[in-house]
Amino acid sequence: MKNLIYPDWMRPLKILLAGAFVSASILTPVSGQVWANSHNNKIATAIETLKQSDQRWIQIDLSKQNLIAWEGSKPVYAITISSGKRSTPTRVGTFKIQTKLKKTRMQGRGYNVPNVPHTMYYQGGYAIHGAYWHNRFGTPVSHGCVNLAPNHAKWVFEWADVGTPVVIKK
């Protein structure tokens, strides 16, 4: 994990306290790094909380292009995925499975795919689903969804319920 305190954020401050000078540092945020670190902390906290439970949950690591199905602190299934490409990234955060569809049509700018298998929507149009139209797992190629090979998508679909937490990190 990266150090959360960056030297360029710090401004020295000397305070007279009970007759003695005390040196302190004040953090002054620059750019979006404070938000990013706060967001990363929330994700890390969610992961630790889920690992201390006996709950089923899904972790997606975009940097490793993998999905791990967990039962509390025990990983029960791990697979390679394809997440969103740079121009259409997969969102990072904590979500819950909202809807499950055995098959659905997905369409948007530049794509119209019928019979997308084992689709689990977790936020708006973002979903974990099977992808029969490519075999480039391990490479970000989607329009923001999390693509799985159809046989793996079926396993995850049957294992997870509506309400299952989904944690997506970089």
DSSP 9: G
φ and ψ at 17, to 5 degrees? Answer: -130, 115
Chain CA centroid to CA 150, Å: 21
The pLDDT tens digits along the chain (170 residues) read: 333 333 333 334 444 444 444 444 344 444 455 556 788 899 999 999 999 999 999 999 999 999 999 999 999 999 999 999 999 999 999 999 999 999 999 999 889 999 999 999 999 999 999 999 999 999 999 999 999 999 999 999 999 999 999 999 99
Evaluate if pTM is beyond 0.75.
Answer: yes
3-state secondary structure 60-93: EECCCCEEEEEECCEEEEEEECECECCCCCCCCE
CA nearest to 59, candidates 139, 163, 164, 136: 164
Query: Which CATH number applies to 30-168?
Result: 2.40.440.10
How far is residue 119's CA from residue 100's CA, in Å, rounded to a whole number?
Answer: 6
Q: Show which residues are catalytic.
A: 129, 145
Q: What are the angstrom distances between the C-alpha of 15 and each of 19, 24, 25, 112?
A: 10, 8, 10, 64
Sign of the dihedral defined by the CA atoms of residues 33, 34, 39, 43, in that order: positive
Give, in degrees to the nearest 5, the angle at Cα 58 between 112 and 164. Answer: 85
* Residue ranges per structural domain of the chain: 30-168
